[in-house]
Amino acid sequence: MQLQRYQIPVQKINHIFISHLHGDHYLGLMGLLFSMHLQKRTSELHLYSARGLDEIILLHLKYSKSVLNYNLIFHSFDPTQSALLWEDEALSVETIPLIHKIPCAGFLFREKIKPRRIDKDKLQDGMMLQHIASLKSGMDIIDDKGNIIYKNEDFTLPPRPSLSYAFCSDTAYNESLIERLKGINLLYHEATFMEDEKDKAKETMHSTAADAARIARAASVTQLAIGHFSARYKDLDPLLAEAKAIFPNTSLAIEGETFELEA
Amino acid sequence: MQLQRYQIPVQKINHIFISHLHGDHYLGLMGLLFSMHLQKRTSELHLYSARGLDEIILLHLKYSKSVLNYNLIFHSFDPTQSALLWEDEALSVETIPLIHKIPCAGFLFREKIKPRRIDKDKLQDGMMLQHIASLKSGMDIIDDKGNIIYKNEDFTLPPRPSLSYAFCSDTAYNESLIERLKGINLLYHEATFMEDEKDKAKETMHSTAADAARIARAASVTQLAIGHFSARYKDLDPLLAEAKAIFPNTSLAIEGETFELEA
């Protein structure tokens, strides 16, 4: 329903990453899978989760006697180990072990190093397409005799920065995250409570807004988004203030908000 | 979410009846069960369904390592047989076998015969509480010698009518329903399609608006509410018109509407 409300093109989603099997983190999935089916999806869908999700989904399908129009590919992972879940030439997705009541992992989305950019003002007549492709990949253009015709740095600009995003929900305060999150551009970190409910946070294996900010500061991330607030907080400004006091570049991760990654 | 939107007091729900295990008919249940838990429910909750719901819910609970604060009591029934699921002194709930792609049952909610009403204008000095209780139950009041002191009909009015409601979703057109639904006050009957999609209705084992109205007319129900409309119908008025042409006292069962049962 939220995907629809925010006009996310559902059929373009090919990979879904589930952090853990608490209801608030995956109960909408079954409805989404059926919706994709009703909307005539045919391309395969990859689901990444700790063990159990496959069993649950197959049981739903069994009792509804449903055969989906598309293939579901289950990728079960061990949330206690960091692992590469997926990559292509542009992006990789790794798990981040979190500390919670049940097996739980965050996800680190990292762009790979991008090609150099052609400086269009410097393009010359006689340059061929394969010259441009080679320049983009960082090479100089050399003739038969080994002489440099086009020197890379004369024609290209450095690549755009590779951006990274980490999603960490749900987790107790966990300093071992710091090393994994070093220098990433956007960190989503849960902040279920405020510091005055520190004991409650410990007991339920959640974090406070200050905890999230401490991790962000220690990992020198560019920006922090906090979310997963307890329903007890009707006003979220105090949570934001608590985090900002420690890590100023913090925002509230409100549903429907868009975050621009900052290099 | 809809219960919340329409301010239905969730914790007063003690019995939930699931017609069949297609996603649009039960996928919200798991979230409701967890919400009841978070809202500190302690009283037991009775779930009525075909086999499978118990297995699905227990698997969700297993992987979320959840122990609910309250007891879930599963009542599995065979949807191919009509059966009494529940009764107390005021109400009974029976299943109505339906014809659908998977085992599916409707539910018939029937008030029992109500006590006679005391005619307050006729009350006399000297009447005791037990006299009034006996009069309500339909008895005359007799003295030691067998003489009638208070004749029932002099002091009471007939009971209010006992009302009945049947929920029939999802089902193909099924004339064997008529006998079961004879004279009920409100029939909810699915109307997924219109007559021009009759073939589609047959193929998917659903009904048309006209089908629903034919059942209502043949069973002489007081009023009909149609629902479960295919998403293809943006405007529901033609569905209503199609049903009304056959059974005039028809309404659209729009979420959030309240239906007053008519005697």
**Percentage of chain B lying above the pLDDT 90 cut:** 86
Same domain, B16 and B136: no
Minimum-distance CB partner of A56 among B1, B24, B63 = B63
Could B22 and A64 be called an inter-chain contact, meaning their C-beta atoms sit closer than 8 Å? Answer: yes
B237-244 vs B209-218: helix axis angle to the nearest 10?
A: 30
Residue entry with tokens 């510091």: A195
Q: How confident is the model at residue A129 (pLDDT cuts 50, 70, 90)?
A: confident
Decide if B194 contacts B207 (C-beta within 8 A).
no
Asked if A24 is an active-site residue, the reply is: yes
Minimum-distance CB partner of A65 among B27, B65, B101 = B101
Same domain, B182 and B244: yes
| Residue B259 resides in a domain | no
Distances (CA, A) of A263 to A19, A162, B1, B148, B252: 26, 8, 39, 96, 54
Give pTM, 2 decimals. 0.87
How would DSSP label each residue in A12-37? G--EEE-----HHHHTTHHHHHHHHH
pLDDT digits (tens, 9 = 90+) for A17-69: 999 999 999 999 999 999 999 999 999 999 999 999 999 999 999 999 999 99
- Choosing from A130, A157, A184, the residue where a domain stops is A157
Same domain, B241 and B177: yes
ipTM of the complex: 0.85
> In this structure, what DSSP letter does residue A245 have?
T
The span from the CA of A89 to the CA of A109, in Å, is 13
How would DSSP label each residue in A181-213? HTT-SEEEEE--B-GGGHHHHHHHT--BHHHHH
Same domain, B138 and B110: no
Residue of B206, B246, B250 lying closest to B229 (CA atoms): B206
Same domain, B110 and B130: no
Tell me the shortest Cα–Cα distance from B50 to chain A, in angstroms: 10
pLDDT digits (tens, 9 = 90+) for A219-248: 999 999 999 999 999 999 999 999 999 999
Interface with A, mutate which of B24, B32, B64 (most A CBs under 10 A): B64
| Residue B142 resides in a domain | yes
Q: Does the pLDDT value for residue A161 go beyond 90?
A: yes
Same domain, A185 and A153: no
| Neighbour tally for B14: CB within 10 Å | 11
Neighbour-count burial for A65-103, b at 16+ CB within 10 Å, e otherwise: ebeeeeebeeeebebeeebebbeeeeeebbbbbbebebb
Check if A15 contacts B (Cβ < 8 Å).
Answer: no
Check if B34 contacts A (Cβ < 8 Å).
Answer: yes
Could A64 and B27 be called an inter-chain contact, meaning their C-beta atoms sit closer than 8 Å? Answer: no
Same domain, B60 and B178: no
- Choosing from B24, B56, B76, the residue where a domain stops is B76
CATH number of the domain to which B84 belongs: 3.60.15.10
The span from the CA of A193 to the CA of A209, in Å, is 6
Domain span at residue B107?
A: 80-114+161-254
Same domain, A89 and A180: yes
- Choosing from A51, A76, A101, the residue where a domain stops is A76
Neighbour-count burial for A203-223, b at 16+ CB within 10 Å, e otherwise: ebbbbbbbbbbbbbbbbebbb
Could A24 and B30 be called an inter-chain contact, meaning their C-beta atoms sit closer than 8 Å? Answer: no
Residue entry with tokens 């999603």: A167
Interface with B, mutate which of A60, A65, A74 (most B CBs under 10 A): A60
Task: List CB contacts (< 8 A) between A65 and chain B.
Answer: 101-102
Same domain, B191 and B109: yes
Same domain, A126 and A168: no
Q: What residues pair up with A105 in beta bridges, in sequence order?
A: A97
| Residue B263 resides in a domain | no
Same domain, B104 and B124: no
Task: List CB contacts (< 8 A) between B101 and chain A.
Answer: 65
- The pLDDT, as a whole number, for residue A125 is 84
Same domain, B175 and B234: yes
User: How many domains does one find in chain A?
Assistant: 3
